[in-house]
Amino acid sequence: MNVGVDIEEVERFAERMRDEKCLERIFSNEEISYSVTKKNSLQHLAARFAAKEAVWKALSSKNKKFVITDISIRNNKAGKPHVYIRNKRYKKIDISLSHTTKYVVAFAIVF
């Protein structure tokens, strides 16, 4: 079992994401579409970024060769986030996301 965790400051994340091309380099269309429908879209994008980072950290300790754009975070109908790698659901990873107005945090466990 491996773990990864990441925390992001929402305001700092927002500054980096002012460039629309930056968004497209980091997030899938599904992640962007999901987040922009939410009241606090930047918090949702920042949480997904933190989740990608946490997953990448957990996988890199297993010597997996992934880049952040290979990882996508999608919610099921009940709202639970799941990890997809190269558009395939990766069932051996559990993630948890949380956010406030100032910070987001993500925790990933790879079984």
Q: What is the pLDDT of residues 32-91, one digit of tens each?
A: 988 888 888 899 999 999 999 999 999 886 666 778 889 999 999 999 999 999 999 999
Predicted confidence band at 101 (pLDDT cuts at 50, 70, 90)?
very high
Per CATH, the number for 2-110 is 3.90.470.20
Q: Which of 85, 86, 15, 96 is nearest to 48 (CA)?
A: 96
DSSP H or E segment with residue 21: helix 20-26
